[in-house]
C-alpha cells in the first residue's frame, strides 16, 4: 500500500487532480467529506462546536450553519485555531477508518490518496509515504476564484491568506504538479505522476 497526501491552495485545481488520480485507480479519501461527516446533527463534533461558538452557529434544524461559522472564524486566527483543534483530530480519525475499510475492499497494493486541503497547516508529511502538492502562481489562483467562483478579488486574496503560503506547501512536497497550463498539460503530468506512484507502490 502507498499512502499519498494530496494538497493545494484554493483555486489550484486540486479537485481536478484528485478526480484524475481516482480515474486511474487510486482510492480517494476526501477530507472535505470527512469534515462534513464529523459534524452531522447529533455528533460529538457538532456538540463541541456549539459549545465553543454558541448555538448561533446552528440552523433551526440543528445542522451546522457553515457560512455563519465561517464568518466568525475567518478573520480571527484564535477562533480558527479553536475550530481546527476540534475538527482536525475528528477528521483524521474518520479518514483513518475510511482507509482501513478501503484497503479491505481494494486489490492488493492500493494507492490510497488522502485529499487534504489544509495538509500543510494541519499535519505536514506525517503519516504519508508521498506528498503531492498542486501548485499554481498566486495571481492565477485569484483569477480562477474570481472567474469560476464569483469571488471579489480582495475576497479571494483574503481566503488565500488564511491558508498556508505557497512556500509552506511546497516545503512539504515530494511531487509537485504544476496546474497553470491547459487540461491537456495536466493530463500529461498526471500520467507521469501515476506511473511514479505505481512504481513506488510496487517497491
For 118-169, the pLDDT digits (tens) are 899 877 788 899 999 999 999 999 999 999 999 999 989 988 988 899 999 9
CATH of 1-26+110-203, one of 3.90.245.10, 3.40.50.300, 1.20.1250.20, 3.40.50.720: 3.40.50.300
In a 3-state reduction of DSSP, which class is residue 20? helix
pLDDT for position 166:
94
pTM above 0.85, yes or no: yes
Domain borders along the chain are 1-26+110-203, 32-108
Question: Residue 72: which pLDDT band, with cuts at 50, 70 and 90?
Answer: confident
Please report, for residues 43, 54, 108, 145, the alpha-carbon distance to residue 193 in angstroms, rounded to integers and kept in the order given: 38, 45, 20, 26
In this prediction, residues 98-110 reach a mean pLDDT of 85
Which of these, 191, 198, 168, 129, lies nearest to 8 by C-alpha position?
168
Query: Was domain 32-108 assigned CATH 3.90.226.10?
Result: no
User: How confident is the model over 9-30, as a mean pLDDT?
Assistant: 95
Amino acid at each position: 500500500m502507498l499512502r499519498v497526501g494530496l494538497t493545494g491552495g484554493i483555486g489550484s485545481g486540486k479537485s481536478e487532480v484528485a478526480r484524475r488520480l481516482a480515474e486511474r485507480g487510486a482510492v480517494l479519501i476526501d477530507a472535505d467529506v470527512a469534515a462534513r461527516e464529523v459534524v452531522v446533527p447529533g455528533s460529538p463534533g457538532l456538540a463541541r462546536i456549539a459549545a465553543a461558538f454558541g448555538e448561533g452557529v446552528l440552523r433551526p434544524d440543528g445542522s451546522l450553519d457553515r457560512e455563519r461559522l465561517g464568518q466568525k472564524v475567518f478573520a480571527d486566527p484564535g477562533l480558527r485555531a479553536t475550530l481546527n483543534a476540534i475538527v482536525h483530530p475528528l477528521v483524521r480519525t474518520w479518514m483513518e477508518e475510511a482507509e482501513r475499510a478501503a484497503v479491505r475492499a481494494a486489490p492488493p497494493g492500493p494507492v490510497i490518496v488522502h485529499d487534504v486541503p489544509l495538509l500543510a497547516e494541519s499535519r505536514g508529511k506525517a503519516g504519508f509515504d508521498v506528498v503531492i502538492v498542486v501548485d499554481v502562481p498566486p495571481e492565477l489562483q485569484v483569477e480562477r476564484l474570481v472567474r469560476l467562483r464569483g469571488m471579489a478579488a480582495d475576497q479571494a486574496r483574503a481566503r488565500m491568506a488564511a491558508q498556508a503560503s505557497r512556500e509552506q506547501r511546497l516545503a512539504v512536497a515530494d511531487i509537485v504538479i504544476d496546474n497553470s497550463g491547459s487540461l491537456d498539460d495536466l493530463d500529461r503530468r498526471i500520467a507521469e505522476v501515476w506511473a511514479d506512484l505505481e512504481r513506488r507502490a510496487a517497491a
